[in-house]
Amino acid sequence: MRLLSVLVSLLLALPCWAQISDDFQPATTNVWGANYPRVDHQGRVQVRIKAPEAAKVRLNFWSGPKIDMEKQPDGFWTATTSPLAPGLHYYTVIVDGADVSDPASTAYFGGTRYASAVEVPEPGETYYAINTVPHGQVREIWYPSKVTGGWRHALVYLPPNYDTQTKTRYPVLYLQHGGGEDETGWIRQGRANFILDNLEASGRSKPMIVVMAYGYAQRAGQPPQDLNGKPFGSPEMLAAVHDMISVFEEDVTRALIPFVDATFRTIPDRDHRAMAGLSLGGMETFQITVNHLDLFSYIGGFSGGGSFLTGRNQFDPKVDYNGVFSDSAAFARKVHLLWLGVGTQEPERMRAGLLSLHTALEQAHINHVWYESPGTDHEWQTWRRDLRDFAPRLFH
């Protein structure tokens, strides 16, 4: 009888076990009313897509698992991943060889295309959540550029109370997206506006205007640079990237900054102007800021910057960027903050290049901040954490 009693108790407990082990909930990044993708407390993701006539369907997380999906009797294909790191993860579904987006997921512009993505929550973290605090506004601007011969687009974050405190002027952070993304990335994927709202509400950072511009540029009358088919790091690719960044540099300094200073209540001097960017945006930031220290005094490289554009593996403070790093004392007088960040799980070549830059700066006695995001790859959770650490250090 005692054994029977124990078995009955175990059977009664089974629903509780199932509930604990299967706590999948619809992702916050789903389109309205979609129950899939789903995420559980471990960070596992379930994807479900209808393709009744397909012979093979494969789930492709760009910086994560690539797994075959299983066909169900109702014509849907399903798969469950292993636990993913917290953050936003791009993915596509490969249906009989065709790489497609999941119609149940919100599409974000990344990898030079609109692609699906799923948000895996970070337990206990609310710094990029929509909290009950004063909120700033994000506005669109179009500004004319004689450099490119047309109209250019940017997003502008204005801090809380910008419209009510009409005599207050603000410092400006120019914040750049990465390669394959666009000026919407820092708001839609990075949630930069909520990060700034929360930092400012807690008193950790000063209110600031943030300008997020379209980072690709071509000179008026010239075709855009074509990077297709150019191997990463090859002389052809380096030349194309360098030319594109040079045009963007002119656009920022000759068109964007004057427009922003004329349109918004900025403090229009170098002591109240910062620039940062992720990946390609970090390379743009380095080139633009160190070439124009008359305009910028705060510099941030999020998984990007340094020696890439020189074509060498090692950064040389004595000669790179016209030797601006060769005199540490002179550099310190001009630059209030030099900040570098990387994820601990980023691709080895990328991580090694940034570590080399960090080491070279240390050996040259260039004061800077070095930050590592634990457990994250070349992805938005790394850059969200970067912004959380970078922004409070500005404009003091």
CATH number at residue 190: 3.40.50.1820
Residues 69 and 208 in one domain: no
Q: Does a structural domain hold residue 9? A: no
> Would you state the pLDDT for residue 50?
96
Q: Does a structural domain hold residue 165? A: yes
Q: Does a structural domain hold residue 12? A: no
Asked if 339 and 385 touch (Cβ cutoff 8 Å), the reply is: no
Residues 286 and 149 in one domain: yes
Q: Which of 117, 88, 174, 170 is nearest to 385 (CA)?
A: 88
Residues 154 and 113 in one domain: no
CATH of the domain at 29: 2.60.40.10
Provide the token pair at 205: 């950072």
Q: Does a structural domain hold residue 3? A: no
Q: Give one DSSP letter per residue of 209-254, joined into a string.
A: EEEEE------TTSPPP--TTPPTT-HHHHHHHHHHHHHHHHHIII
pLDDT tens for the chain, 396 residues: list them: 454 454 444 444 443 333 344 799 999 999 999 999 999 999 999 999 999 999 999 999 998 899 999 999 999 999 999 999 999 999 999 999 999 999 999 999 998 999 999 999 999 999 999 999 999 999 999 999 999 999 999 999 999 999 999 999 999 999 999 999 999 999 999 999 999 999 999 999 999 999 999 999 999 988 776 666 666 566 777 777 888 899 999 999 999 999 999 999 999 999 999 999 999 999 999 999 999 999 999 999 999 986 555 555 678 888 888 889 999 999 999 999 999 999 999 999 889 889 989 999 999 999 999 999 999 999 999 999 999 999 999 999
* CA-angle at 65, arms to 64 and 69, nearest 5°: 145
Q: Does a structural domain hold residue 18? A: no
Provide the token pair at 332: 């310190």
Domain span at 107: 24-120
Q: Judging by beta carbons within 10 Å of its beta carbon (0-12, 13-18, 19+), is residue 10 exposed, middle or buried?
A: exposed
Q: Give one DSSP letter per residue of 344-369, joined into a string.
A: TTS-HHHHHHHHHHHHHHHHTT---E
Q: Does a structural domain hold residue 8? A: no
Residues 294 and 191 in one domain: yes
**DSSP letter, residue 83:** P
Residues 83 and 218 in one domain: no
> Would you state the pLDDT for residue 19?
38
Buried b (16+ CB within 10 A) or exposed e, 222-258: eeebeeeebeeeeeebbebbbebbbbbbbbbbebbbe
Three-state DSSP at 67 gives strand
* CA-angle at 98, arms to 189 and 69, nearest 5°: 80
Residues 311 and 175 in one domain: yes
Total residue length of the chain = 396
Residues 110 and 149 in one domain: no
pTM over 0.85: yes
The tally of domains found in the chain comes to 2
Residues 80 and 53 in one domain: yes
Residues 212 and 354 in one domain: yes
> Would you state the pLDDT for residue 353?
87
Q: Does a structural domain hold residue 11? A: no
Q: Which of 269, 276, 254 is nearest to 389 (CA)?
A: 276
Last residue of a domain, one of 120, 152, 185: 120
Residues 106 and 149 in one domain: no
> Would you state the pLDDT for residue 221?
86
d(CA 257, CA 68): 49
Q: Which of 335, 382, 358 is nearest to 86 (CA)?
A: 382
Last residue of a domain, one of 53, 88, 120: 120
**Cis bond upstream, residue 15 (ω within 30):** no
> Would you state the pLDDT for residue 235?
72
d(CA 25, CA 45): 9
> Would you state the pLDDT for residue 16?
37
Q: Which of 341, 376, 374 is nearest to 355 (CA)?
A: 341
Last residue of a domain, one of 120, 152, 174: 120
Residues 114 and 165 in one domain: no
Asked if 373 and 342 touch (Cβ cutoff 8 Å), the reply is: yes
> Would you state the pLDDT for residue 257?
98
**DSSP letter, residue 269:** S
> Would you state the pLDDT for residue 290?
95
Q: Does a structural domain hold residue 17? A: no
Helix (H) or strand (E) run with residue 278 in it = strand 273-278
Q: Where are the beta strands (DSSP E) in 51-105?
A: 57-61, 66-68, 70-71, 76-80, 87-95, 98-100
What's the gap between Cα 19 and its chain centre?
35
> Would you state the pLDDT for residue 13?
41
d(CA 265, CA 170): 6
What's the gap between Cα 2 and its chain centre?
60
Residues 111 and 145 in one domain: no
